Structure 1
Amino acid sequence: MIIDALLQLSAAQAVTASAVSTNTIDLGVARDIGQGEDLYAAFTVDVAPTAAGAATVQFQIITSAAADLSSPTVIGETDAIPITDLTIHRKPIVLPIPSAQLLAQPIGQRYFGVRYTVGTGPLTAGAFSCNIVDNDPGVGKNYPSGFSVA
């Protein structure tokens, strides 16, 4: 999976309560995202989530008229995933984003991002990354990067 820094919505974002991604894509500027091809939101677990109880996390793809992703429209989502299934180095959680769905959004849905919805929380730890990619990263084995970019 090749990662583009401009399409990274979260980079090891700490999540203990429901939250939106730290980054957004401005569809008013990046109007041709995907250029007619399917895109995928690939979520990875950077820090395994923990909680006092049996918490869950749901991953959602959202658009909003506001840059802070408030009052979003959900265009794709996973089921609520138990934290016991969210282990480090697991295969990415992949949500397809058909380009036709992005183009069909109501006028004013200018910003694109993701939301992490914590159920039966809060979490006491947990961090996730989300990258938009143009091929399904759910195949093959994933390894930690072993490097950092300064």
Structure 2
Amino acid sequence: MASKLMMNPGEILLEGELEKRSDSLFQLWKKKRGVLTDDSLRLFSGTSERAKELRFHSILKVDCVEHTRKYVYFTIVTTDFKEIDFRCTGESCWNASITLALIDYQNRRALEGFRRHLEPGTNPRGRVKQDPRSPADAPGDAAALR
């Protein structure tokens, strides 16, 4: 995967076919066209231009379940602990690409939070710190010299 410095926001990292297991009683595998960006996985059915989107802020982790000769089976676990099963051909590496993009997204969010924490004049909740001394108690103030 390309370095973050070289990527544009929303740039497509991977595009291609993967299969999603349906939630129906028979749990059939349905082919989807997947589009992986730096902040989401979009799934398109057939020729439809409408996509279902899994945004990374709602993904907890990607579990690799099994490797067979033909497929890699993996599960995306959402922050509300819903499990979505996928499979892809071993050479397509969807599971690894999604995992790396998710880790990159989580690292960027952690750095943004850390930078907000370090901004001068703010406390960890992002509010402006107040000087505990009143203006009259400040050193060099005429009132303090009396």
Task: Tell whether the structures are fold-level matches, with TM greater than 0.5.
Answer: no
Q: TM-score, normalised by structure 1?
A: 0.24
Q: Which has the higher strand share?
A: 1
Higher CA-based Rg? 2
Which one scores higher on RCO, CA 8 angstroms, separation ≥ 6?
1
Q: TM-score, normalised by structure 2?
A: 0.24
